[in-house]
Chain A
Amino acid sequence: MYAIVVGCGRAGADVANRLSAGSHAVVVIDNDRTAFSRLASDFDGTTLVGHAIDVNCLLSAGIEQADLLIATTYGDNSNLTAVQIAKKQFGVDRAIARVKDPIRACLFGDLGVETLSSTTLVGQAFENLFDQTDVSSDLGPKIEG
């Protein structure tokens, strides 16, 4: 599979490392060159300095051949725009945007844009922990100990 990862923050670098370790062809884009230091030493893909919504930059990254685009920058709006360009202009099979604002994630989900809301995921994870644990008896002693 040919994947483009937009944004090389912690999440972007993590997903890029995973894809590369899984023997996929990966191009990582970030507008800050120093962000690429987050990639693993055995990262086997390519890096590209550029902006998420710059069509020329996406073309240089080979978006016309890409099967997957994952947008993980800190900006919800950049991610949503990049993913829509990938889908509508270049017909990329799968394009997923990381979106922190749950309302925005929901609205664009309704519009057919695939999103992953880290806020909702973390909220749900905490809720699950809560449900599984009797907070007053179980957590208390552990903190003291």
Chain B
Amino acid sequence: MYIIIAGGGKVGNQLARDLITDGHEVTVLEANPTKARNLEDELGAVVLGHDASEGRWMMEAGIARADLVIAVTGHDEDNIIICQMAEPLSQGKARTIARVNNPKNSDTFRLLGIEALVDATDLVMSMIERDVSTDSVVHLMRLQSAGLELIEVTVGHRSSADGATPDDLGLPERGARICVVLRDHKPLLPLATARLQAGDSVILVAQTEDEVELRKQFLKP
């Protein structure tokens, strides 16, 4: 895919790195010249030192052939306008994802037709968990309106989950459900009677407020 990232701050930088590693073609637009130069030193010649919300630089960046535009600047009004402009500039081909800096503004994003939103607070949380945390709980997605989360967690050695069935762990009572278990990179059907074992990667849907308790069950010896 060809992906344009608007905003080369910490989030844009990390995204660009990950997407390049995954084999995507990436251009980062960063208006601050010093930041843009530093970014170029790190990432190579994929940085344009210009304002992404200025039409001519979006065209220079190749918006006409972009598959995805990710707006992650620190200003909500910029992210809104960048996403709105991406649509006509790409003849409706590019999908857009926007970062919400101030949760108060998320209704405005939706009002103006931008549906794919990432709340910065959430994003930072998941980045911290993925990159820093040793206990390997990853928020795959927050199903906010329903108060649910899709969580990936690795079963810890001698944790309560090690050797237990979903029933043993009391998951059904709490409305949590295992979607899939990955053992040695192979998916297993999540039978109610199947016993989990240490090292299993479990993807489950759970209520947001149960996360802390689940973390203990799956991770702590």
Q: Tell whether A and B belong to one assembly.
A: yes
Chain B nearest CB from A117 CB (Å) reads 12
Q: CA A54 – CA B80 in complex, angstroms?
A: 14
Q: Is A77 touching B77 in the complex (CB atoms < 8 A)?
A: yes
In the complex, whether A78 has a CB less than 8 A from a CB of chain B is: yes
Chain B nearest CB from A53 CB (Å) reads 5
In the complex, whether A114 has a CB less than 8 A from a CB of chain B is: no
In the complex, whether A134 has a CB less than 8 A from a CB of chain B is: no
Known: A76-B53, A101-B55. A111 touches B84 (CB 8 A): yes
Q: Is B111 touching A111 in the complex (CB atoms < 8 A)?
A: no
Q: Is A55 touching B81 in the complex (CB atoms < 8 A)?
A: no
Could you mark each residue 104-131 of chain A with 1 if its beta carbon is under 8 Å from any beta carbon of chain B, else 0? 1011101100000000000000000000
Q: Is B111 touching A89 in the complex (CB atoms < 8 A)?
A: yes
Residue of B nearest to A113 (CB): B84
What secondary structure prevails in chain A residues at the interface with B? helix
In the complex, whether A31 has a CB less than 8 A from a CB of chain B is: no
Given A53, A77, A106, which contacts B105 in the complex, CB threshold below 8 Å?
A53
Q: Is A53 touching B108 in the complex (CB atoms < 8 A)?
A: yes
Known: A81-B108, A110-B88. A104 touches B53 (CB 8 A): yes
In the complex, whether B78 has a CB less than 8 A from a CB of chain A is: yes
Given A55, A75, A89, which contacts B77 in the complex, CB threshold below 8 Å?
A75
In the complex, whether B45 has a CB less than 8 A from a CB of chain A is: no
Chain B nearest CB from A39 CB (Å) reads 24
Could you mark each residue 70-114 of chain B with 1 if its beta carbon is under 8 Å from any beta carbon of chain A, else 0? 000001111011001100110000000000000011011001100
Q: Is B75 touching A77 in the complex (CB atoms < 8 A)?
A: yes
In the complex, whether B183 has a CB less than 8 A from a CB of chain A is: no
Q: Is B108 touching A85 in the complex (CB atoms < 8 A)?
A: yes
In the complex, whether B54 has a CB less than 8 A from a CB of chain A is: yes
Q: CA A75 – CA B81 in complex, angstroms?
A: 11
Q: Which residues of A (72-102) have their CB < 8 Å from a CB of B?
A: 75-78, 80-81, 84-85, 88-89, 101-102
Determine the chain B residues whose CB is within 8 A of the CB of A88 once the complex forms: 111-112
Residue of B nearest to A104 (CB): B55
Q: Is B55 touching A107 in the complex (CB atoms < 8 A)?
A: yes
Q: CA A110 – CA B91 in complex, angstroms?
A: 13
Determine the chain B residues whose CB is within 8 A of the CB of A135 once the complex forms: none
Given B56, B80, B111, which contacts A77 in the complex, CB threshold below 8 Å?
B80
Determine the chain A residues whose CB is within 8 A of the CB of B81 once the complex forms: 76-77, 80-81, 104
Known: A77-B81, A80-B81. A104 touches B54 (CB 8 A): yes
Q: Is A77 touching B78 in the complex (CB atoms < 8 A)?
A: yes
Determine the chain B residues whose CB is within 8 A of the CB of A76 once the complex forms: 53, 81
In the complex, whether A52 has a CB less than 8 A from a CB of chain B is: yes
Could you mark each residue 40-76 of chain B with 1 if its beta carbon is under 8 Å from any beta carbon of chain A, else 0? 0000000000000111100100000000000000011
Chain B nearest CB from A55 CB (Å) reads 7
Determine the chain A residues whose CB is within 8 A of the CB of B75 once the complex forms: 77
Chain B nearest CB from A111 CB (Å) reads 7
Closest 6 CB pairs of A and B: A103-B55, A77-B81, A77-B77, A81-B77, A78-B77, A77-B78
Q: A53-B105, A110-B88 are in contact. List 4 more A-B contacts (CB 8 A).
A: A53-B76, A81-B108, A107-B85, A108-B84
Q: Which B residues are within 8 Å of any A CB, using their own CB?
A: 53-56, 59, 75-78, 80-81, 84-85, 88-89, 104-105, 107-108, 111-112
